[in-house]
Amino acid sequence: MSRRPVRGTRRRALVRTRFVLAGAGLVLALTATMPGVAAAVPPPPPNPSDTDIAAAGSAVDSRLGQVGQLIDAIASANQQLAQLDDEVAVKREGVNKALVDLQNARDAADVAAAVVGAAQQALADAGT
């Protein structure tokens, strides 16, 4: 039993071949026109003159003093921040101690109130 070819397969193959050839032609056309654009190299930058180099060197030298001053200012600010951080730490310790003392005083007041209540109850019981 032989199989019959499916209708339209030859036509589909021709259409597919046409698309492949058209795509290949498009790629070929694009690559043929692009080498000039892709190979373009920008011109080198102009070389600076001796006076340009000397002027740039003096500008750097004049800015070095400013950089040193900024470094000193930052170091001073960091030192002040460290001192303030130490002062805040001492104050936090004081606050924590005061909170502990407050809680201890509240606990002592609660115990004293309980003792007073017990004493009043004992007096009331003794009076009857």
Residues sharing a CB contact under 8 Å with residue 48, sequence separation 6 or more, in sequence order? 56
Segment 3-44, tens digit of pLDDT = 555 556 777 877 788 888 888 887 777 777 666 655 667 788
Task: For residues 106 and 104, give the distance between their C-alpha atoms in angstroms, rounded to a whole number.
Answer: 5
For the residues 51-78, what does the mean pLDDT come to? 92
Give me the mean pLDDT over the 52-72 stretch.
91
Residues with Cβ < 8 Å from 56, sequence gap 6 or more?
Answer: 48
pLDDT greater than 90 at residue 55: yes
pLDDT at res. 44: 86
Residue-level pLDDT at 84: 97
Q: How far is CA 76 from CA 79, 80, 96, in A?
A: 5, 6, 30
Report in angstroms the alpha-carbon separations of 107 from 12, 64, 114, 118. Answer: 95, 64, 11, 17
pTM over 0.75: no
Check residue 47 and give its pLDDT. Answer: 92
Proportion of the chain above pLDDT 90, given as a percent = 52
